[in-house]
Homo-oligomer: A and B are copies of this chain.
């Protein structure tokens, strides 16, 4: 059966039936409706336990199985071997910005950073605070962060090369990753995690805040190669040492149980309903192609902000001819049930975040609105 024959659509949000909107939020963001419905149905009594998932002990065997199962599903979806672990942390990308250098480039050790905008800039600055010799090995700043840099000036002594896989603010995304870096790659994949299959053979660590493609804010998923974890600085506070999570299966202290539970349901949805990451990527590519097509076909009324070869499949950023029209676009869009289309507060403009759980019909509704709006503008 080819992709074309198969119905790959994520279940629609069905705004009419639920009073729900089309959700284009940058994050926290849309989650699959069947996941939310299941969580709602068993909210007072999870799996016959007689307790809410908010109330059950994290040491309960059923919860331990759920947490272990979520890790297995993540590794399975990505096709990762036993040299990898998926661990569950808290603190978002911002805590990873500190943990990574504290562990892997401590006491003035060198590390390379690629600056593609706000998030990698924050990661780099935090590494400097943490005492690393953190260096910008490439940057698209001179291009106004509209693209992914083509050339990287590697430090052969760098402990790792850090990059932000997808920039939610600027709408840029690495379509493929550096193959010639002398250091292992470390990446923030918060906003495109599990949106496509990944070859992680050059990577040592990937971190992802759950609140884009995976689940609620307050859960951070880290993929880490076991041998890399072992190279971390010793003697750090327990919660800042990745080994603490490896040796305890993410249960050194009480983990964010509800977030892991929702992430686990999303994994089942990705495996079952969607059929894996290749299918998810096909859906995401089709959604993005439709939306960029509408932008490019608008005769210049809508203008994409990212260069074509660096366009994100997750965050489609564009401008209208004036800030006044943009404000009207956002207001009238809301009236049509299209929510969260405002650009990041640091740059303005329009941003449609079309993460995994945003169904094709939401994108079609946006495209129809864009056409109508242009006629009246």
User: CB distance B40 to A20 under 8 Å?
Assistant: no
A30, B57: Cα distance in complex, Å: 10
Q: Is the CB of B43 within 8 A of A40?
A: yes
Contacting A239 at CB < 8 Å: which of B30, B95, B216, B258? Answer: B95
Residues of B within 8 A of A218 (CB): 90, 218-219, 254-259
How many A residues face the partner with a CB closer than 8 A? 70
Q: A55 and B37: CB pair below 8 A?
A: no
List the B side residues contacting A54 at CB < 8 Å: 28, 31, 36, 215-216, 262
Q: Please indicate the chain B residues that have their CB under 8 angstroms from the CB of A287 in the complex.
A: none
A94/B238 contact (C-beta < 8 A), A45-B19, A55-B30 known: yes
Given A43-B36, A44-B20, residue A98 in contact with residue B239 (CB < 8 A): yes
Residues of B close to A102: CB separation below 8 A: 237
A26 within 8 A of B: yes
Of all chain B residues, the one with the shortest Cβ separation from A190 is: B254
Residues of B within 8 A of A171 (CB): none
| Nearest B residue (CB) for A337 | B50
**CB pair A50 B254 closer than 8 Å:** no
Interface of A is mostly: loop
The answer to whether the Cβ of A129 comes within 8 Å of any Cβ in the partner chain is: yes
The smallest C-beta distance from A231 to any residue of chain B, in angstroms, reads: 19
Instruction: Contacts A57-B26, A256-B217 given; indicate if A44 touches B51 (C-beta within 8 A).
Output: no
Q: Does A333 contact B (CB under 8 A)?
A: no
Q: Is A179 an interface residue (CB 8 A)?
A: no
Q: Which listed residue, B18, B20, B51, B239, touches A20 by the CB 8 Å rule?
A: B51
B31 touches A39 (CB 8 A): no
CA A58 – CA B26 in complex, angstroms?
10
Bound-state CA distance A40–B45 (Å) is 11
Among residues of B, the one whose C-beta sits closest to the C-beta of A95 is: B239
Say whether A126 contacts B238, CB under 8 Å: yes
A93-B253, A218-B256 known; A44-B56 Cβ under 8 A: no
User: Which residues of chain B have C-beta atoms less than 8 A from A373's C-beta?
Assistant: none
A102, A219, A340: most-surrounded residue (chain B CB, <10 A): A340
Cross-chain contact of A129 among B28, B211, B235 (Cβ < 8 A): B235
Measured in the bound complex, the distance between the Cα atoms of B258 and A164 in whole Å is: 26
Q: Can you name 13 extra interface pairs (CB under 8 A) apart from A30-B51, A216-B257?
A: A20-B51, A28-B58, A37-B44, A43-B43, A91-B91, A94-B253, A95-B239, A97-B238, A98-B238, A129-B236, A211-B254, A217-B256, A218-B255
